[in-house]
A = this chain, B = another copy of it.
Amino acid sequence: MYTEIDTPSVLIDTKIAKGNIKKYQTYCTDQGLNLRPHIKTHKLPYFAGLQVEAGAVGITCQKISEAEAMLDGDKSNSIKNILLSYNILGRSKLERLKKISERVKLSVVADNIDCIEGLSQAFSDLSEELPILIEVDTGALRCGVMTPQEACNLALRVSELPGVSFAGLMTYPPKSNAAIIMNNFFNEAKKLIESNGLEIKTISIGGSPQMWKAHEVPLATEYRVGTYIYNDKSLIVAGACEIEDCALTILTTVISTPAPNRAVIDAGSKVLTSDLMGLEGHGLIVGYPDLTISQLSEEHGCITSNTSTNLRVGQRIQVIPNHACVVSNMVDHVVFIEDDQVLLHEPVVARGKVW
């Protein structure tokens, strides 16, 4: 019984995860969209392999070290195509990037001229050009050029430089009005870029909260999505999934009940993290919808109730976190479960990969 293992533990219900992979792949296939899952949620070559085998065009990694971990751990030799959706800068990172390009079909993103020139210089001695997507900002206010004209300027620069080729556009969507803003940006950028004689092969969009609305952006050719494999409270609240679709839960033990309306669990920010995602409380306690994890310290989660928690010391409960991706990053291994049985302890090989 998985409920007997030591706590806190991060459990992955593999049936649910596999169901989630299939469900969203079916949606993308039906829409004629390439699916390119982001491995940041699971950080496991095993699931990356399953995602590709289910029909994904490749995977997305944010950091070079994530790509290295995926390839090193890919026992089924499924991963043939990686998009690194991050500006890569500096000699040591560029050297590692070149090595990855020898192992897999690689593309990257860039949103500035320093980054593009560095990539060109590093890849100019290779026989194959490195495809670059220009990252554009459609309102998330993170990376990305802010106007179609800037996107066009960078696309032209990429097309002129040796070692690199212009492959298309990429964006991480804003929280609201995403489809409208993206459609406006891409329509204008496409016109500009094509009028300069360049072809846009790929328009890559993404984000889990809006994943079921991908078809509202007709110019998009590819969807990047991470959290959909596990789901979490943020996606329940966003209406993108139900509680039953959540594959990742934290098994935790009540260690103290200092007052009738307060209990303390052995999972704090070192497992759940402080990510609030705009939500109230630090996760959803399965079977106790009225209880709130109202405060975290590193090793303590404080549960409060307006009346009584009805929890007892030693009791084990499961928590659906606000944000699944960051929980995977906190633990050295996750526990695969099926029904009520433990299948295995899986090392999270891409945990902590920030380089």
Task: Confirm or deny: A183 has a beta carbon within 8 angstroms of a beta carbon on chain B.
Answer: no
**In contact, A93 and B142 (Cβ under 8 angstroms):** no
Task: Confirm or deny: A165 has a beta carbon within 8 angstroms of a beta carbon on chain B.
Answer: no
**In contact, A274 and B273 (Cβ under 8 angstroms):** yes
Contact of A274 among B62, B111, B276 (CB under 8 A): B276
Task: Confirm or deny: A302 has a beta carbon within 8 angstroms of a beta carbon on chain B.
Answer: yes
Given contacts A89-B253, A274-B275, whether A313 and B258 have CB atoms under 8 Å apart is: no
Report the separation of the CA atoms of residues A297 and B111 in the bound assembly, to the nearest whole angstrom.
Answer: 17
Query: Which of A124-132, A189-197, A325-333, A337-345 lies at the interface with chain B?
Result: A325-333
- Chain B residues near A262 (CB-CB < 8 A): 141
- Chain B residues near A330 (CB-CB < 8 A): 329, 352
Query: Which of A24-32, A212-220, A237-245, A264-272 lies at the interface with chain B?
Result: A264-272
- Size category of the A interface is 35 or more
Report the separation of the CA atoms of residues A130 and B243 in the bound assembly, to the nearest whole angstrom.
Answer: 44
Task: Confirm or deny: A257 has a beta carbon within 8 angstroms of a beta carbon on chain B.
Answer: yes
Given contacts A270-B329, A354-B331, A355-B6, whether A298 and B40 have CB atoms under 8 Å apart is: yes
Contact of A275 among B6, B269, B331 (CB under 8 A): B269
Query: Which of A143-151, A156-164, A198-206, A284-292 lies at the interface with chain B?
Result: A143-151
B-contact 0/1 string along A52-76, CB 8 Å cutoff: 0000000000110000000000000
Given contacts A111-B258, A269-B275, whether A142 and B300 have CB atoms under 8 Å apart is: yes
Report the separation of the CA atoms of residues A92 and B142 in the bound assembly, to the nearest whole angstrom.
Answer: 46
- Chain B residues near A331 (CB-CB < 8 A): 352, 354
- Chain B residues near A63 (CB-CB < 8 A): 299
Task: Confirm or deny: A256 has a beta carbon within 8 angstroms of a beta carbon on chain B.
Answer: yes
- Chain B residues near A111 (CB-CB < 8 A): 256, 258
Task: Confirm or deny: A86 has a beta carbon within 8 angstroms of a beta carbon on chain B.
Answer: yes
In the complex, residue of chain B having the shortest beta-carbon distance to the beta carbon of A353: B270
- Chain B residues near A325 (CB-CB < 8 A): 298
In the complex, residue of chain B having the shortest beta-carbon distance to the beta carbon of A118: B314
A74 to chain B minimum Cβ distance, whole angstroms, is: 21
A343 to chain B minimum Cβ distance, whole angstroms, is: 20
Given contacts A142-B295, A142-B300, 16 further A-B contacts (CB under 8 A): A63-B299, A87-B256, A89-B255, A90-B314, A111-B256, A111-B258, A137-B258, A142-B297, A142-B302, A143-B255, A144-B256, A146-B259, A270-B329, A270-B354, A271-B354, A331-B352
* A-B residue pairs in contact (CB < 8 Å), sample of 16: A6-B90, A7-B90, A8-B355, A62-B298, A89-B253, A89-B314, A115-B255, A115-B256, A141-B262, A141-B302, A143-B256, A144-B258, A269-B326, A270-B352, A273-B273, A331-B354
Contacts from A to B (Cβ < 8 Å): 6-8, 40, 62-63, 86-87, 89-90, 92-93, 111-112, 114-115, 137, 141-146, 253, 255-259, 262, 264, 266-267, 269-271, 273-276, 295, 297-300, 302, 313-314, 325-326, 329-332, 352, 354-355
